Structure 1
Amino acid sequence: MTDTGTTTKTSLNKFEKFKAEKDGLAVKAEIEKFAALGWEAMDETDRDHRLKWVGVFFRPVTPGKFMMRLRMPNGILTSDQMRVLAEVLQRYGDDGSADITTRQNIQLRGIRIEDLPDIFNKFQNVGLTSVQSGMDNVRNITGDPVAGLDADELFDTRDLVQQIQDMLTNKGEGNPEFTNLPRKFNIAITGGRDNSVHAEINDLAFVPAFKEAGEQGSRGVGEEYLSQTSARKFGFNILVGGFFSAKRCDAAIPLNAWVAPEDVVAVCRAVLEVFRDNGSRANRLKSRLMWLIDEWGIDKLRAEVEQRLGKSFLPAAPKDEIDWEKRDHIGVYKQKQPGMNYVGFHIPVGRLYADDMFEIARLAEVYGSGEIRLTVEQNIIIPNISDGSLPTFLAEPLLQRFSINPGTLERSLVSCTGAQFCNFALIETKNRALATIQALEADLTFTQPVRIHWTGCPNSCGQPQVADIGLMGTKARKDGKAVEGVDIYMGGKVGKEAHLGTCAIKGIPCEDLQPVLQDILIKNFGAKLKQEALVEV
């Protein structure tokens, strides 16, 4: 068991107690046994909790059918990997589906416990892993979805993200050093100018910033790197503490620290060690990194991390380089590689089925280099399509369903899993979100994009606080009865000067939501009724 600092055993919450009894990663060696036993005969703690350490999630709303969450650093996978995921889902017919998550990741649904040994073998053969993707672990590490493709990027994040993944997971085999954090932990690294990873909602984020050689001051992390030349050097300012939970939502704050790219992995390790050994293990509602910052103050956190590193940080650069509005990468774009293009297409609410995935794998191989990328908006990019192949690619039937030019509202629509598959959700989200957007687009014309995010409960997996309009599932009252409803958040901003929105309207019944949203879109976002727009013309 990892050292948990000064917390006494009597003050441990129930999750810490079962982790003390048996490390979550131990179930990795028991998959064959679980498959033979069947889900109903398993130890409940193994089934309901410890399986999450290998990315397998019991869902009470679909008993006997599990969810699997992969790790896909920087949101990148190959056509072979996509095809294997499709083969796994194909076995489960109508019960099998996949969701692209808001962390550039894929979750599979409909999985049966007896198939886990075969599934894990298939994953291993193509370099996929689901290890440490749930519970008190570092979740999928996000990076720029067009890293290495974008001529305007400041730094290609792909290799750094992979190095961090390898450090955390022992190259996918599992790493007990980091399998017992006080709570889950999110890391993001952006090397572009538009904050495509939503750095502000991560526990630890690295944002691009240049440092002048004369700024280094006392010796610290990156000082040798700066001294190599008199020119300014690229590195990252560090943000810490961002998170969403049912109890509290906070944007990340500056650590007042700048690091060179070669120090990023070591800084990740140091921050995680400090959190692991000092974060609260008594109250899970107060166990994320920001709660430790509240207790210590930012200066003490920085000092503790410096002690782990064995050297001091250089002060943060005066400004970061996030100076563009957020891009969604949907459409056709020139790459930095001459004659090559990447194409982003919209996956409505991120939902995929086996046939879709087989076809995406085929398109990536036939027209590109076999590479597929995911975005935090739950969409897909296929890169490395030549100018000559582009017209034929754009004529492919799949792009009729997964459009490169979707409607104004549909384009930016994001949704969590919802009550269809998630026992935490208070409302159904994905299907309702699509139906609502389609109805609004049928009635309105728009002069600007509007980002609408749905989440089924206060855990905020759909990130309503970063949206122009965020919808959070709740129970509302109508005619004296409890019905499915939403709280409406407004004012979230992404890209430069990102900040979180706040709750503006509470308890709107879902059946009454469309006219409320229509009114908000007209009054706040310049939308017009189509009949009025025709009259003006």
Structure 2
Amino acid sequence: MTNKFEAVKAAKDGLAVKDELEHFAAIGWQDIPEADRDLRLKWLGIFFRPVTPGKFMLRLRVPNGILTSAQLRTLGEIVDRYGENGNGDITTRQNIQIRGILIEDIPDIFERLSACGLTSVQSGMDNVRNITGSPIAGIDGSELIDTRPLVRQLQAMITNNGQGNPEFSNLPRKFNIAIEGGRDNSVHAEINDIAFVPAYRWGVLGFNVLVGGFFSARRCEAAIPLDAWVPPDQSVVELCRAILELYRDHGPRANRQKSRLMWLIDEWGIDHFRSAVTAKLSFPLHRAAPKDEIDWEKRDHLGVYPQKQPGLSFVGLHVPVGRLYAPDFFELARLAQFYGNGEVRLTVEQNLILPYVSNTLLAHLLEEPLLAKFGIAPPPLQRSLVSCTGAQFCNFALVETKNRALALSAALDAELYVPQPVRIHWTGCPNSCGQPQVADIGLMGTKVRRNGQTVEGVDLYMGGKVGKDAQLGTCVRKGIPCDDLQPILRDLLIEQFGASPRTDDLPQNSHLNVTAESIAVA
């Protein structure tokens, strides 16, 4: 038994459309064969969106979430040509998606991306998605392992240095890899198909390995230990290759709802799976270290913090639900170039970091107009807000998410004093791109009946925990109409998160990293 996706892949590899882009650009989106337009173009990161016909989304690959000023300017130029139809989003995999793209512009856009060192190859469908790593890799004073070189090596292996790699272009389903180099699980290791977390074995620092974490409409599972430890070298790349080859060659394909790596592990058992992995390696696979080094609560990196490099700081900016427009790209490029080393880091919370800022320039940076929009100390509920694309642009979404999430969080922040950050995640459908299962409060879009009408609603998730002892939350209430949500969340915040009705004399952000303290520390 097979399914339509496997039939499409069997007929022609997704990467084959790379040679047809000029033709597609010439004939226009309406005349592109449906299987190419709706499916195979995703192998190049190009997504047809029925809710915005003729306007495509382009998903990039940004390994470890690191962009340069030149790359930001290029993205700004691409978005800018589409006016009000163009924008970009920071994703929950430290990535960028840009919208409003016209198919006739794709050849030129790909030339521009290549010229600045960016690629979108194999960023969608049944491929390894953007590889995440510690967002303050190389600048964190408490860092254990710098993840940047390993993430770059992995991307090069999986994508053939951005040219496209047929070895890994026909997996049973999508695949996520994360490498954590710090103590606070900044990458959400537990929700990745392969995750590496720092651990000492025999006094040597390396990684324990987790496998099988995923979200889907059918099932959500946290990653489980492979009972394996590897040093922070080429062994990481070779181990990933071995697991990917096993998944490619033996992973279930008949039912796409049962095609993620964990289903293969279930079928084989973890011991058999580990043995099969070991047999493909050129080195002995050591048993896992007794404990890993994830022993901190998760940081969100918003604010100003000293780097391990003397005299320098990194500045974490809050980008409301990750949405960027052309002027934002241009201004971020300027700020990164003028105040830092021309680099910007993205986080899985859909925010960004300006690293390598001289302490002598901090006060000037904090006065820049863009920081009034992308602040370092947002109100508590907006601070920890995450949202998927939603029905505005995604045909899978059952509800509008980003605008609603912002409006509701702002209303609740105005109504309540919240003594601690509360992570609220919105996702428009059961595919869980907004990751409600890792949130303190997760909201998954659905349709509900209200007064005899079908309206937008959510299922409520609770209990997700990140950082050390991470765990997935579960659905505790179904079918809440979105119009009824504010009082329900208000009561929930009061009863379970210590919130209280606001009065004028209560400070909004007293628990946050604040400007004066940050500069003094730096």
TM-score by length of structure 2 reads 0.96
In the TM superposition, what whole-angstrom CA distance separates every residue of 1:302-321 from its partner, at most 9, and x where no partner exists?
01111111444111000000
In the TM superposition, what whole-angstrom CA distance separates every residue of 1:23-46 from its partner, at most 9, and x where no partner exists?
000011111000001000110100
Q: CA deviation at 1:69?
A: 0.2
SS of the residue corresponding to residue 63 of structure 1 reads coil
Q: CA deviation at 1:113?
A: 0.2
Alpha-carbon distance in structure 2 between the residues aligned to 1:273 and 1:13: 21
Query: Of 202, 205, 218, which aligns to 1:247?
Result: 218
Alpha-carbon distance in structure 2 between the residues aligned to 1:291 and 1:64: 36
Alpha-carbon distance in structure 2 between the residues aligned to 1:205 and 1:97: 31
Letter in 2 for 1:258: W
State the partner residue of 1:5.
none
Letter in 2 for 1:507: G
Query: Of 143, 149, 153, which aligns to 2:139?
Result: 149
State the partner residue of 1:302.
274
Q: CA deviation at 1:530?
A: 1.4
State the partner residue of 1:291.
263
Alpha-carbon distance in structure 1 between the residues aligned to 2:420 and 2:318: 18
Alpha-carbon distance in structure 2 between the residues aligned to 1:164 and 1:249: 25
Query: Of 454, 458, 463, which aligns to 1:491?
Result: 463
Alpha-carbon distance in structure 2 between the residues aligned to 1:468 and 1:257: 30
User: Within 5 Å, which residues of 2 pair with 1:24-423?
Assistant: 24-212=14-202, 232-262=203-233, 263-423=235-395
Would the aligned equivalents of 1:145 and 1:196 in 2 still touch at CA under 8 Å?
A: yes
In the TM superposition, what whole-angstrom CA distance separates every residue of 1:71-108 from its partner, at most 9, and x where no partner exists?
00000010000100000010000000000000000000
Consecutive unaligned residues in structure 1, runs of 5 or more: 1-10, 213-231
Alpha-carbon distance in structure 1 between the residues aligned to 2:314 and 2:232: 26
SS of the residue corresponding to residue 489 of structure 1 reads strand
Alpha-carbon distance in structure 1 between the residues aligned to 2:419 and 2:309: 33
State the partner residue of 2:426.
454
SS of the residue corresponding to residue 309 of structure 1 reads coil
Q: CA deviation at 1:505?
A: 1.1
Alpha-carbon distance in structure 1 between the residues aligned to 2:48 and 2:449: 31
Number of equivalences:
505
Letter in 1 for 2:457: G
Would the aligned equivalents of 1:371 and 1:382 in 2 still touch at CA under 8 Å?
A: yes
State the partner residue of 1:8.
none
Aligned-pair identity (%): 70
Would the aligned equivalents of 1:182 and 1:276 in 2 still touch at CA under 8 Å?
A: yes
Q: CA RMSD in A?
A: 0.9
SS of the residue corresponding to residue 280 of structure 2 reads helix
Q: Does 1:481 align with 2:453?
A: yes
Alpha-carbon distance in structure 2 between the residues aligned to 1:39 and 1:533: 57
In the TM superposition, what whole-angstrom CA distance separates every residue of 1:236-268 from its partner, at most 9, and x where no partner exists?
000000000000000000000101112100000
Q: Does 1:16 align with 2:6?
A: yes
State the partner residue of 1:223.
none
In the TM superposition, what whole-angstrom CA distance separates every residue of 1:460-510 from its partner, at most 9, and x where no partner exists?
000000000000001112112211000010010000000000001111000
Q: CA deviation at 1:532?
A: 10
Q: CA deviation at 1:531?
A: 4.5
Alpha-carbon distance in structure 2 between the residues aligned to 1:398 and 1:20: 49
Alpha-carbon distance in structure 2 between the residues aligned to 1:244 and 1:267: 23
Would the aligned equivalents of 1:445 and 1:533 in 2 still touch at CA under 8 Å?
A: no
Alpha-carbon distance in structure 2 between the residues aligned to 1:18 and 1:459: 22
State the partner residue of 1:224.
none
Runs of 4+ in 1 over 4 A off after TM superposition: 531-534
Alpha-carbon distance in structure 1 between the residues aligned to 2:198 and 2:449: 47
Consecutive unaligned residues in structure 2, runs of 5 or more: 507-522
Alpha-carbon distance in structure 1 between the residues aligned to 2:376 and 2:8: 47
Alpha-carbon distance in structure 1 between the residues aligned to 2:75 and 2:401: 24
SS of the residue corresponding to residue 184 of structure 1 reads coil
Alpha-carbon distance in structure 2 between the residues aligned to 1:269 and 1:68: 26
Alpha-carbon distance in structure 2 between the residues aligned to 1:446 and 1:350: 22
State the partner residue of 2:520.
none
TM-score by length of structure 1 reads 0.93
Q: CA deviation at 1:533?
A: 8.0
Letter in 2 for 1:522: I
Alpha-carbon distance in structure 2 between the residues aligned to 1:531 and 1:110: 43
SS of the residue corresponding to residue 64 of structure 1 reads coil
User: Within 5 Å, which residues of 2 pair with 1:515-530?
Assistant: 515-530=487-502
In the TM superposition, what whole-angstrom CA distance separates every residue of 1:279-333 from its partner, at most 9, and x where no partner exists?
0111111000000011010001101111111444111000000000000000001
SS of the residue corresponding to residue 342 of structure 1 reads strand
State the partner residue of 1:227.
none
Letter in 1 for 2:47: F
- After alignment, is 384-393 or 306-315 more displaced? 306-315
